[in-house]
Structure 1
Amino acid sequence: MLQEALAKRKFLVIGRVGMDLSPDPANTRTRDAETMMVAMGGSSANIAAGLYKFGCDASLVTCVSDDAIGWYCETQLDQYGVDRRYVKRVRGEYRTSLAVYETRVDDHQSVIYRNNAADFQMSLEDVEAVDYSAFGALITAGTVFAAEPSRSATFRAFELAKAAGLPIIFDVDYRPYSWPSPDVAADVLSRAGAMSDIIVGNDEEFGFMAGDADKGLGKARDLAQNSAQIVVYKMGPLGAITFADGAEIKTGIYPVEAVKPTGAGDSFMAGFLAGLSEGRPLKDAILRGSACASIVVSKPGCAPAMPNAAQLEEFLKTHPGPTEA
């Protein structure tokens, strides 16, 4: 049963960790930067860190380069409480991802270095070494499927997780620059979605999977009817529609003054899953995820900006939202 699995509060997270650089102070353009804020990044690592802040256990499966950037990421994972026993160092020309993004909304610039990405070197052997019985659920984001051997390794992890009774939680997280072609991405992400129990994506991502921007909502509804137990269809400032048990739940957002557009999806996932793991009603868990997203975009950094339970409760207590869906 999904709720029983999530109640274990032990998550296996597959995907990248990286280094984030952002010009400091906020609103500084990269081209004008003299100093940079440095922080841990990478969608999967951010989710894992967010879950730990809510009292969950999170273990990361990925590869990092055997150099100063990879070692930095290992240290950051330790500081955020993320178990890295399944994080492997790789040598050669492979490099840990580096993101340079601005803490500004207007004319926001993000540059992500993914050439010869170390995390794409995750292999079948790496995922087969995991003790899946120690976890309650598996989480991943679409980036892991963009290249081999990571793609095949992650599909193998899905198989092993299912065999161990773990639900699969999938953040579509489509990033065109990582993929060889849109056709390959649509096929692979659709395969991953069909194997997943919880799917989270935005309207553009579901539209992409459906092959037509206007058919995204239908794609999300179809996945909920035929394979997934919960599908969250995010619509930015318009809130979200969640499909589960034949029902459609509409939720709003918590408006804030954003200082950047990055990190919202990762924080939403952490807050949403933490809420479900605590046994909260589905609508409540979605709104908590939405509040987490708002908190993160209102502060510099991604992993550093993710709230803990006390910070989330204070935000919910003082914010007049959410908006009506």
Structure 2
Amino acid sequence: MDVLNTMVGRGHEQVTMYSDPESGLKGIIAIHDTTLGPSCGGTRMWPYATEQEALTDALNLSRAMTYKSAAAGLHLGGGKGVIIGDPRTDKTEALLRAWGRFVDTLGGRYLTTTDVGTTGRDLEAVRQETQHVLGLDVTLGGSGDTSVMTGLGIYMGMKACASDVWGADDLRGRTVAMQGFGKVATHTAEHLIEEDVRIIATDINEMALDRARQMGVKVVGPDEIYDIDCDIFAPCALGGVINTQTIDRLRCSIVAGGANNQLATAEDGEELHRRGIVYAPDFLINAGGVINASAEIGQPYNPDRSRQQTERIYEQMSAVLTTSRKQEISTARAADILAESRLDSVRRMRRIWRG
């Protein structure tokens, strides 16, 4: 990859790499855009096969965070941290504290929280080395587990899509196929179960499948999930799962889930639109986590305020659906327009102030 040209082409401001031989840390922080405020995004720890794969993930995820915060009305930019390693075997206090020192060198341009492979307990170690951490446990003055509000936001996004497709946002009796049953999917499922939704799920983690079974969720194999006859297909694992190979297999009216960067390419969003499948743009409906974390900034955390703002995802999704229909464009493009219009307006305002 030609890193600098890729950064320029996608609007990235900064990419920083860091290593700590003593702890074994190899990490990357990508800052996409700080027009609206300091960049914010979780730290992901994953056993990437190559450094190229880790860099690509950091670039893609940081850009998505810019759009997520912009669409949600937050005063934050987009950033992402990735650590190359297996969180089950490579994670140590020394590594996490080294990561904290890395984050601290950026002087607040990047605020970190949890993501795939990291937990609230991990943040406590990171916090020993830097103040630029969000999402600590509520007992430590933080906003706690970001997956709770993320799950709520996805549920609200599903209901907004249901209203558009079926004329009512009641999900009772509907079937949702969930690809991945981690923390976010679990919290989403809790809301769905309360509404008597039938859930069919898959995951590569046996503990996640056991949790699903205990909740009364039917479990299928990882590859079977695409062929389930359902009302809503919910990608809740890693990205790129909506692509030319999988779209043909989908048997749903709506795609709405918690995974980041669900579309392998922008064209896949257009293809869903052509086929009449309503897509809930991931950065729009999975914004509950960053909304929750942002509620810590500059004031005591208030869970009611966080919940109210997360519930507005319903309105934002409805607005995107309306734009999609009026302009005859995909929901993916309509959501981009929503985020880009806010970024552009702030940039124009800054140029005016500077004379």
Greater Rg, structure 1 or structure 2? Answer: 2
Q: TM-score w.r.t. structure 2 length?
A: 0.29
TM-score normalised over the length of structure 1 = 0.31
